Structure 1
Amino acid sequence: LLASGQYIGGAAVQRFEEQFAQFLGGGPLEAVGCNSGTDALVLALQALGIQAGDEVLTSAFSFFASAAAISRVGARPVFVDVDPCTFNLDPQLLERSISPR
């Protein structure tokens, strides 16, 4: 794979996608290999129908790619602080951050 230089797209990636989909119990088009975590986040947001005008709650304690992916689909990231014990989104702050958007 490394010698071919085709680690984005190509036959090896197609085989991986097919085998991973089978492993997950799905059909051949139910797994998509991405060249980055950011692209994976963008695809997930698009699959959920997130678009311009929407707000997406995200951790304030995260790599910038989380907010970049949200912005890339036209939505607005809304940062929510984390619980200092778990480093997960603070449920109380999360609840207060939910808007109709």
Structure 2
Amino acid sequence: MFFNPHEIEIINLIDVFITGRITAPEFEHKYLIAWRSYRDSSKKKRADCSTQRFFDSVFSLVDSYCSDPDLMDDDDLKGDDLFEGVAELQTAWRESVMV
């Protein structure tokens, strides 16, 4: 499977988060930038439907997470929730593209 540079950046960023090399607040900030860059890019999207769903689902999790304790609501995801959700999505995505 081939990906454009923006897609590779997103996949690598998720790997960096899942392996514990960046924190949830760092991931939130970097993922939002990378996802918007991907969304707004004129480069041909090479992601299949499963990968696009993966990117969008991770975006939804990030959107449900709040790193600012002053702004956090009871229903916002915590850092551990974000990590677990992204890890589960990554596992499901990898299984779907390896078929």
- Both structures adopt the same fold (TM-score exceeding 0.5): no
Higher strand proportion (structure 1 or 2): 1
TM-score, structure 2 length as denominator? 0.28
TM-score, structure 1 length as denominator? 0.28
> Greater CA radius of gyration, 1 or 2?
1
